[in-house]
Structure formats: structure tokens, C-alpha cells
Amino acid sequence: MNAPLIDPFARVISYLRLSVTDRCDFRCVYCMSENMTFLPKKELLTLEELDRMCSTFIDMGVKKLRITGGEPLVRRDILKFFNGMSRHLESGALEELTLTTNGSQLEKYAADLFAAGVRRINISLDTLDEKKFADITRWGRLPQVLRGIEAAQAVGLKVKINAVALKGFNEDELFTLTNWCAERQMDLTFIEVMPMGDLGNEDRFGQYWSLKDLRAELATQFTLTDLPDRTGGPARYVKINETGQRIGFITPLSHNFCESCNRVRITCTGEIYTCLGQEGHADLRGPLRQSESNEPLENAIRAAIMDKPKGHDFDYSRQKVDGQVSRHMSHTGG
Ligand code: SAM
Ligand code: SF4
């Protein structure tokens, strides 16, 4: 095994998020425009290259791998990739293989994912109202996702729901969503909307619902106990005493988690982003394709980690969207 990945701020990199496609069967308004131009297929890492990329990171000490996108389950033959990664779970080199999905394909894939060693998944769901669901995802249909969630739970996958907090959209569903998840033994995480992509005509700033306010609202009906969990990411957790549920708050706009940041992201074209909030990135596809040996890739990975910034610059506090990055979330992976 290679020496572990440690950045200049002494943070150990043990968590890799990998986007396997920029495509999606939904067009969520905060994530994509309706008419997206997707990358030509040849730009994408092949399934074999995705395997080699992840295996190299695992060899360098990555213990947790989250697959994302776009929608990871619309990538053709993606199960081959998951089945390949299960060897690292079996050897103990990898501790967790997981994914973030919109749930649309889970009815089809839940059992196979479980068989490949996936035990926990995050499913994105912002509303339980069929009409609002169709509005926010443009192309998604709620019943299909609900069947996917049921299928996942039926095969034994532990499901966490992720909901983007949107002012004037799902504010009125705070308790409905929370109780619905509690009845199904699912944890729930709220995500503050991020200034990703083009603001275009959609006033994303107007959609901003502070999780501080959301939490205060939740506390009007429930007793919340802070949990000490530190996942190295932007999530903070509380327990709802009445339901036993864990509620997460992801506030990517705050800086307070950067000191413990343990993660890097790889896009579907093989670029490494060492900070979600910054444009800085490096190409790993070139070094990967350059040689059958992994040495150029390992060198490029180490160089990128040495450049990992201390923190990021999103800031709404100045009443305009500062630190906005132009790439879409579906490109870097959420
Ligand atoms: N398609 C999968 C899904 O929706 O779960 C995985 C990729 S998606 C980009 C990952 C997560 O990013 C989702 O939970 C989505 O709600 C979130 N997301 C997308 N755009 C966002 C934005 N502008 N601000 C905050 N979260 C966003
Ligand atoms: Fe697709 Fe996920 Fe983006 Fe929605 S948030 S458009 S489901 S990638």
C-alpha cells in the first residue's frame, strides 16, 4: 500500500466522491437547466478507468467511496462498476461503498446494489407532493421514486433522505417530511441551496432558506439534541428525542467545516476538485491514460492534494452571491 494522502493542512484524505456521469433523467431546477448539453461520451472515463481511478485512491488510503452524478444509476452498465468495487470491501481496504441517487432506478437496482456490498444510500427527495415534485424535478415522477425507496428498504439498504431547503417551496412540508421519514426509520438531511451553475432567470438567492431558521422551526415541535458526529463534511446532526431520528443540516455556505475536510471529488471526466467551493482543479484523465503503470496517476493525485485549499468562499452575508462557481453540481457531483 502507498503512503496515505495528507494535505498541507495535515488533513488526511480518506473520502472520495466520484461522479460517474453528468447525465440525469431529471432536470431539477436548482441543478440543471431544462436544455442541458451533455458531454460527448468519449470525454467520460470508461468503466474500467473509473475502476482504476478508485482502486488507486483506495490504495492511497481512501476508505469511503460515494458514487454520484448526474444520476449514477442512469450510467450504462454501472452495476459492473459496483460489482468491481466489492472486491475492495471484501479485502477490507474499503470500508464503505455508497451512493447518492434520485431514486428513479432503485426499483430495478436495489437488490443488485445490496449484493455488491452497498449498505447505505442517500436518496434526494424535496417534497411529498406529486405536483410540486414534478415542478421541481421537471422530468421526475414521485410515485416512481417512492417505489424505489420502498424497494431499497425492502432489500435491507439503510436509506437517508436528502432534501434541499427552498424558501416558498417546501417550507410548509417541514413536519410532513420529518414525520414521513420517522415512520419509515429514515434519517433526514436538509441542504442549503448553493449558488451553483448559472443563476439565469431563476432567482436562486430568493430561494435561500437558512437552515438556522429551519432548525428553529423544527424546535417549535420537537426536542433537538446536538450530536457530536463529525463526518469531516459540511453536515451537522441533531437527534429528535420524540422520534429517535437523526436530522442533518448541510450548510455548505458556512466555512466552519473546512478544517476537518477529509474529501476530494472526481468528475466523470477525471478532473479532481479538492474543494467544492473553489474552481481549482487538476486533470487526472491524462495521467491515467498516459501509461499502464499507475505512477503518473499517483503523482498527479499527490500534486493535487498538495494544492488543496484551506477553505472556500461562498458567502451570502454580503447580500449578493459572492464566491459563486460556474460549474453545475451535476458535473462535480453533489
Ligand atoms: N442525481 C443524484 C441525486 O439527485 O441525488 C445525485 C447527484 S445530485 C447533484 C446530489 C445532490 O446535490 C442532491 O441531493 C441534490 O439535491 C443536490 N443539489 C443539486 N444542486 C444543488 C444546489 N444548487 N444546492 C444544493 N444542493 C444541490
Ligand atoms: Fe439530476 Fe440529481 Fe441534479 Fe436532480 S439534483 S437534476 S436528480 S443530478
130/154 Cα distance (integer angstroms) = 23
Query: Cβ contacts of residue 72 below 8 Å, gap of 6+?
Result: 19, 20, 21, 78, 99, 100, 101
Q: What is the pLDDT of residue 203?
A: 56
Phi-psi region of 193 (alpha: psi -120 to 50; beta: other; left: phi over 0): beta
Ligand 1 atom index nearest CA of 194: 24
C-alpha to C-alpha distance for 159 and 181, rounded to whole angstroms: 10
Cα–Cα dist 270/144, whole Å: 31
Distances (CA, A) of 191 to 64, 125, 195, 221: 21, 11, 12, 20
- Ligand whose nearest atom lies closest to the CA of 34: 2
What pLDDT does residue 318 have?
36
| CA neighbor of 310 nearest in space, from 265, 333, 282, 278 | 278
Amino acid (one-letter) located at 282: A
Distance 70 CA to ligand 2 centre (A): 6
Pocket of ligand 1 (CB under 6 A): 24, 30-31, 68-69, 71, 100-102, 124, 162, 164, 191, 193-194, 196, 329-330, 334
Query: Residue 78 is which amino acid?
Result: I
What is the rounded distance in angstroms from the CA atom of residue 63 to the CA atom of residue 98? 11
Q: How many helices (H) and strands (E) does the chain have?
A: 10, 12
- Residues 13, 62 contacting (CB under 8 angstroms): yes
User: What's the pLDDT score for residue 188?
Assistant: 97
- Cα separation of 332 and 334, whole Å? 7
For the CA of 123, the nearest ligand: 1
Which DSSP string corresponds to 130-198? HHHHHHHHSS--HHHHHHHHHHHHHHT-EEEEEEEEBTTTTGGGHHHHHHHHHHTT-EEEEEE---BS-
Protein residues with CB under 6 Å of any ligand 2 atom: 24, 26-28, 31-32, 69-71, 102, 124, 330
CA of 257 to the centre of ligand 1 (A): 19
**CA angle, 279 then 283 then 285, to 5°:** 145
Q: What sign for the dihedral angle of Cα 124, 272, 208, 217?
A: positive
Q: Whose CA is nearest to atom 5 of ligand 1?
A: 101
From first to last of its 334 residues, the chain has per-residue pLDDT tens of 788 899 988 889 999 999 999 999 999 999 998 889 999 999 999 999 999 999 999 999 999 999 999 999 999 999 999 999 999 999 999 999 999 999 999 999 999 999 999 999 999 999 999 999 999 999 999 999 999 999 999 999 999 999 999 989 999 999 999 999 999 999 999 999 876 544 344 554 457 889 999 999 999 999 999 998 667 777 899 999 999 999 999 987 666 667 778 889 999 999 999 887 677 899 999 999 999 999 999 999 999 999 877 776 544 443 344 444 545 555 555 5
CA of 304 to the centre of ligand 1 (A): 25
What's the CA gap between 68 and 267, in Å, rounded? 9
